[in-house]
Structure 1
């Protein structure tokens, strides 16, 4: 309607003024309800054609959409392990900081595992102390065995020397007995040394590895114990948090509630533009938006990202062939709009429905010295008609409360 009124001022009105003041035709006499088409046919025809052209230019080069929302992602409150709730630290609709404890699961089993690991560490430390004592005793046994071996060796050497000087003094049988005794003492020395090495290996390798295993078991038990305290992964507000002590929660089936991040819906608006505008929409375009949650307000925006695929054409692998008629509904081009100035989305509830316009800017091409006059005039017209769409958006911003509260029946 606005475009038609504007075009009529340039076509129908001049045609009427010519008929009235040049040809002397007046309403109610020569120009009646039945002859208005014949009398003003040139102006009406030109008005219709100009209106269609203007609407095409406005909606193509300055696209608009009502499918705009401040979308946000919620965070499900889920424990890393299932269990029964033992204690709750927060309440419904409470603001929490990242890392704040939300609730605690029953931790009897995890505490028992941690205590068992601590006992194992203490047991290994006690074994280490005992092994060190045994190592000191092993040194004494080695000295004792070496002394007995030296004594047996001295006796053997003495008797052997006597037999060498006089074979009748010492019997050969005695020499054999002393040799066997010396070999036995030598074996006792080797056994004592081997026992000491075993103790040393136990102290330096076995017991430290056993202690490291016990410490790892303690860390695992402590990690499992820490998992029983569920904390907020991000700062935000708790919603649908109706958890009660004694209730069983499960990471797969039983979430405890929903956490809405504090920055949710305050970063960007997500808009769905028609596919025909894919060649017009560019990153960096200036846009404007008005939201139901904040009427009478125009928010300057900028296009920061354009999704390079249309979600309506996606296919999912399944056991059935997809009929193309299931994809007949055309999808939209997803565009991300961010406020041009800081705090532009303040006061708009996350999830609000909005209306957005994007405006084509031909300033760089107009500044080119190689542009033709016809192209220069055409681009000026394209940029100028953006004012029409901007005025329409402001009229929509004014009419939003009326449409919602009065005409919408709310």
Structure 2
């Protein structure tokens, strides 16, 4: 309607004024309801053509969308395992800090495993003390075996010397028996040394390894026990937290609730523009937005990024071929917008629906020396009609509460 009024000012109105005041025609006489079309046909036709051209020019070079929302990411509250809730530490809606306890699961099994691991460490410590005593015992056995070996060698040496000096004074059989005894005592020394080495290895290697394994099992048990206490991973707010003692939660089917991170939905506005505007929407474009949760306020914004893909065209590989006609409707070009000034989105509720206008600016092209006069004039017109779109946005912002509260029928 606004475009028609503007276009009529340069088409229908001059035509009417010419016929009324120059030709002297009057309403109800020469100009009647039936003769309006014939008398003002050039003005009406020009108005309609100019209106269509103006609307096309405005909405193409200064795109607008009502598909704009302050989307925000939520963090699911999930335990790392599964179990029955034993204690709930927060209410239905409550702000939380990182590390705050949200709820606890039943931990009787984890406590039992932790206690078993502690007893295993105590058992290994006791075995270590006993092994140290075995080392002392093995050392004594080695000394005893060496003493016995030395005694047998001395006796063999004495009788061998007597046999050398006076052959036949000592029976050869006795010397052979003493040699066997020395060999036997040497084997005893070797066995005692091996026993001592085994005891040393048990003290220095085996039992420390068993203790390390027991300590690792203790640490694992402690980790499993800590997992029964679910804490907030980030600062934020818990909403609609209806978990109660006795509920069973797990990672796949029964999440406990959601945590909304602090500042979520207060930094960027996501807007979906029509695909025909893909060549117009660029990074750095100035935009304006008005949101339902903050009526009668125009928020200056800037386009910070434009998604290179349209979400409606994505598919997952499966066992069926893709059928293009199954697409319900064409997707949109997703653009991310940030406030032009700090705190621009203050007061806008995350998740709120908004109306966004983006404006094309050709200032650099117009001021370039390589731009012709005709093109500069055309670009001036393109930039100038953005004022009409800005006015339309302000009219929408003014009528939005009335439309929502009165005309919606609620």
Residue 50 in structure 1 maps to residue 37 in structure 2: no
SS for the counterpart of 2:65 is strand
In 1, the alpha carbon distance for the partners of 2:123 and 2:35 equals: 112
Structure-2 residue corresponding to 1:366: 366
In 2, the alpha carbon distance for the partners of 1:329 and 1:250 equals: 37
Q: Encode CA deviations 1:258-308: one digit per residue, 9 max, x unaligned.
A: 222222211211111111000000011111110111100011111112111
In 2, the alpha carbon distance for the partners of 1:25 and 1:229 equals: 90
In 1, the alpha carbon distance for the partners of 2:274 and 2:206 equals: 72
Shift of 1:26: 2.5
SS for the counterpart of 2:51 is helix
In 1, the alpha carbon distance for the partners of 2:76 and 2:138 equals: 63
In 1, the alpha carbon distance for the partners of 2:319 and 2:382 equals: 50
Q: Encode CA deviations 1:64-118: one digit per residue, 9 max, x unaligned.
A: 0111111112222111111111111111101111221111111111111111111
Structure-2 residue corresponding to 1:207: 207
In 2, the alpha carbon distance for the partners of 1:94 and 1:408 equals: 33
Structure-1 residue corresponding to 2:99: 99
Q: Number of aligned residue pairs: give it.
A: 410
Shift of 1:392: 0.4
Between stretches 23-32 and 338-347, larger displacement belongs to 23-32
Shift of 1:324: 2.1
Structure-1 residue corresponding to 2:305: 305
In 2, the alpha carbon distance for the partners of 1:369 and 1:202 equals: 90
In 1, the alpha carbon distance for the partners of 2:292 and 2:364 equals: 35
Shift of 1:328: 5.0
Structure-2 residue corresponding to 1:172: 172
SS for the counterpart of 1:76 is strand
Residue 120 in structure 1 maps to residue 120 in structure 2: yes
Shift of 1:9: 1.1
Shift of 1:241: 1.3
Shift of 1:193: 1.0
Between stretches 115-124 and 374-383, larger displacement belongs to 115-124
In 1, the alpha carbon distance for the partners of 2:215 and 2:344 equals: 53
SS for the counterpart of 1:369 is coil
SS for the counterpart of 1:334 is strand
What is the TM-score of this pair, normalised by structure 1?
0.97
Between stretches 178-187 and 23-32, larger displacement belongs to 23-32
In 2, the alpha carbon distance for the partners of 1:237 and 1:92 equals: 10
Structure-1 residue corresponding to 2:83: 83
SS for the counterpart of 1:272 is strand
Residue 232 in structure 1 maps to residue 232 in structure 2: yes
Residue 136 in structure 1 maps to residue 136 in structure 2: yes
Question: Which ranges of structure 2 fall in alignment gaps of 5 or more residues?
Answer: none
Shift of 1:137: 2.2
The CA RMSD over aligned residues, in Å, is: 1.3
In 1, the alpha carbon distance for the partners of 2:209 and 2:339 equals: 59
In 2, the alpha carbon distance for the partners of 1:148 and 1:366 equals: 113
Q: Encode CA deviations 1:385-406: one digit per residue, 9 max, x unaligned.
A: 0010001000000000000011
SS for the counterpart of 1:168 is coil
**1:180-191 residue pairs with structure 2 within 5 A?**
180-191=180-191
SS for the counterpart of 1:199 is helix
In 1, the alpha carbon distance for the partners of 2:256 and 2:149 equals: 77
SS for the counterpart of 1:282 is coil
In 1, the alpha carbon distance for the partners of 2:313 and 2:244 equals: 44
In 2, the alpha carbon distance for the partners of 1:390 and 1:324 equals: 37
Structure-2 residue corresponding to 1:250: 250
